[in-house]
A and B are shown apart, each in its own frame.
Chain A
């Protein structure tokens, strides 16, 4: 089947099977920034924003997202014009292998949109669904705090 997807503000038509999960459809169409760490909803590497809400794209049928806005980490910024979260992750050393990073940044983005001044506990809870094996999370927390601070100053 075919459907129109809105990804990072752009409308585009993809062909897919009824049973295809969104993660595979995104990756098959060049959205490699959405990672697959487990395919079972356990790791958050495949996280995207669906109408601003954080979801694991491996747990969603592509056929079910009609009319919704998809945001991936590429939708937040690029190397020439990165989002403060992307900068903060780079600045604090929150990125080691980076396989968890797109999901982590989106989870942090979803948090900061709702709560621009999160406590440490709120940060931890917001990132609960995203596994990182490299960093021990310490610098990821720091990145979220730093981004929150920079974003607050900018508005």
Chain B
């Protein structure tokens, strides 16, 4: 495959220049005629029943058109999780509800002619709440006497374990081997509890939805979503209107990271629009994104690992408790991912048990967040192996190499654990993890740094740490992507995909794949994506699926088109089809003495004889989910006086199969890595005693900015995944898995302090240092 022309090249993103020159349109940039402004009233209580809600005064405010509450909106239960059908998440959510379950929960919505009128009316809505006891601590959520968040009507559309009367939003258990035997054989048992915290996605564009009616009276919803087709399906169901009356369009999106795999604004916006036959504009404030939208699910994970003195692991028992917050968006799947994306990595452990529970609490709602459970799981996993390696006097690099899954190998877990059902057996076809470890180690100068406690000035100590991880590429046998394509007279092609570019660059990557198959430059591919009227179906951008899954659909589609081109060329040249060579922009006979250009092929097909449109479509369902692999290395410096941890250098080495566009792949890794470092060191939700998030702005919820950025290195190792388009696997999520554990391991390397809880704030470091 060395003669690839387009794949493997770092071309510009197809939308880069329109963005750089300020022409690209995001949801709120679409002009609408006199839209109604929508604004939400949020709950001031963590848990309460609405006893009475009086909107009469608010309705008198000049310009107010409607006020929605639980009293005048559909009661259909659904999940805000934008997943396939039927969703693996419980149906525990209504557009509005008599009960509020966290501070920030929706209470009412004002639709008004102007934002000022809406704001004024919001202040005049009178709500009488009957406060209920709230539960914030997931550990106590399943106690018999704990307050219950959801009633008997909430249900799971799939046959999975779901028991709202015990606050149990999901449960996953799996095991193989003989745990008793495994632990009895062990010389030592390492038993630790790890905690990971809340985090906000912080996509720079706050959630936004606009809706209007087209000239035929159909509802057009423009929305910042990762899942346009799931939005359309959910809207039709919740609003009880025909699906054919709805068109969902995803324009440019200002970042998502899982936070826009949620169908939060669309039902309310579409409902107001439909009811009043008016266009609407619904854009959240930053504060609302923090307090009302989704978070990274916090986890408590207990790892019990039995091992022999030589480091042989005899048993691994994981007990996970995931805090779902007030609703169960992704309650089951994030939980199962915390097992299914972690346990197969050390596939040589013979005795394994995993028990995971997701529980409701009166805290902000968890959701999909880049890494999706794997990030939380790898925090504990990588410290666990660091500890065991140290206790058995091995280098963690050698230890990891001894135990990780390899080419041709499998794991029981693949088969047992899927998304709301059984998994899919798979054998690893590409694993470059050893090379990731070696090259990362070299870059961080592992052997010159490890165990050195290097101290540039007396109060500062440096250390290095490593973390490894894997992710998946799409959800096998469940997720489907499709593409359609037609040819134009100048040898260009329109490519229509349901795939959803969130800024990740998938429009570009998919164009490169099509260009490669068709032997043209990527400019000849005119891509249009994510419009439910114009593009074929795609599940959307989640589960690290787009390059691998949608990419394969595009490849298949382009191959069909290529076949038609060859057939027509054969007629033109009067040379049998299989004696033709498909070259760059032209088809020729084997000796290259006669040839026909693509333009001529299309002209012939459209105008000359047996006229037809050269066009095709194709769908793809993956039969497996090949994991990308990664090794990440941190060099940090701890200030033992202030407790501050500074990352000096961070190296990520990834095996993502063949990178279709290496620069974009690097960008995915870099973005995820910095998000991960920021999460490890300071991002967190700080709550008041009554459950209010106190730091709901960028002033107080600090994310990394330019001066915080350490020396960053990204290494893409060569690898080829046979089942992927041109050998590609996924790359977008995995980079978030390593920073927290790599930094934790580096902190231990520097000062001998183990941090079992994120984030690694100065107070925690100082507290632990005192204990030494």
Contacts and interface: CB of A to CB of B under 8 A. Distances in A.
Interface of A: 27, 30, 32-33, 35-40, 42-43, 45, 72-74, 76-79, 82, 85-87, 89-93, 95-102, 105, 123-141
A42 B202 CA distance: 12
A76 B20 CA distance: 10
A17 to B, nearest CB: 9
B712 to A, nearest CB: 5
Interface stretch (B400-408, B427-435, B454-462, B499-507): B499-507
Contacts of A39: 285-286
B19 A95 contact: yes
B12 A133 contact: no
Interface residues of B, number: 57
A78 B205 contact: no
Contact of A139 (B286, B502, B670): B670
A36 B208 CA distance: 11
Contacts of B13: 90, 93, 95
Nearest to A98: B19
B12 A32 contact: no
A97 B20 contact: no
11 contacts: A33-B21, A43-B204, A92-B663, A93-B10, A93-B666, A96-B503, A98-B24, A133-B201, A136-B672, A138-B670, A139-B666
Contacts of A126: 706
Contacts, number: 185
Interface stretch (B50-58, B60-68, B697-705, B749-757): B697-705
B699 A98 contact: no
B663 A99 contact: no
Contacts of A91: 12
A42 B697 contact: yes
User: Does more than half of chain B's interface fall in helix, strand or loop, or is it mixed?
Assistant: loop
User: Does more than half of chain A's interface fall in helix, strand or loop, or is it mixed?
Assistant: loop
Given A72-B22, A93-B10, A40 B706 contact: no
Q: Return the 10 tightest CB-CB contacts between A and B, nearest first.
A: A97-B503, A33-B22, A99-B254, A98-B19, A136-B674, A90-B16, A42-B698, A136-B670, A32-B29, A86-B20
A115 to B, nearest CB: 15
Interface in B702-740: 703-707, 709, 712, 714
Given A93-B664, A99-B255, A134 B671 contact: yes
B23 interface: yes
Interface string B1-44: 00000000010110111111111111011010000000000000
Given A37-B204, A127-B706, A133 B255 contact: yes
A20 to B, nearest CB: 11
Contacts of A40: 286, 697-699
B581 interface: no
B17 A79 contact: yes
A14 to B, nearest CB: 16
Nearest to B665: A93
B209 to A, nearest CB: 15
Contact of B698 (A43, A97, A135): A43
Contact of B204 (A45, A89, A137): A45
B703 A133 contact: yes
Contacts of A98: 15-16, 19-20, 24, 252, 254, 503
